[in-house]
Amino acid sequence: MITCKDLVEFLLDYLDGTLEPETARALERHLKDCQGCQAFLNTYKATQAALRELACEEMPAELRARLTSFLKERIGRKGGPPR
């Protein structure tokens, strides 16, 4: 029996089609009866689709310089890179 917590754990493999068939069927049975997980799945799918639509854009040079300066200052203040 699949729980809501299990669904979250198996979701990526399920959507990729790499989940074992028996587990996928159990997950689908759970989805059929659980509106919360149906909503979660729909939101997850919509988020994936939106992310695929995003275009990669080059960071403006001024912003890159400011960010680099900020990070160098932060790292220097703490005595090294974050762990």
Q: Is there a domain that residue 67 lies in?
A: yes
C-alpha 12/C-alpha 8 separation (Å) is: 8
pLDDT in tens, 60-73: 999 999 999 999 99
The answer to whether residue 81 scores a pLDDT higher than 70 is no
The helix (run of H) or strand (run of E) holding residue 50 is helix 35-53
Assigned domain for 83 exists: no
CA atoms within 13 A on the CB side of 59: 8
Could you write out the DSSP letters of every residue in 15-46? HHT-S-HHHHHHHHHHHHH-HHHHHHHHHHHH
- pLDDT tens, residue by residue, 7-53: 999 999 999 999 999 999 999 999 999 999 999 999 999 999 999 88
Task: Supply the range of the domain harboring residue 56.
Answer: 4-78
* CA distance linking residue 70 with residue 68, whole number of Å: 5
Q: Is residue 57 part of a domain?
A: yes
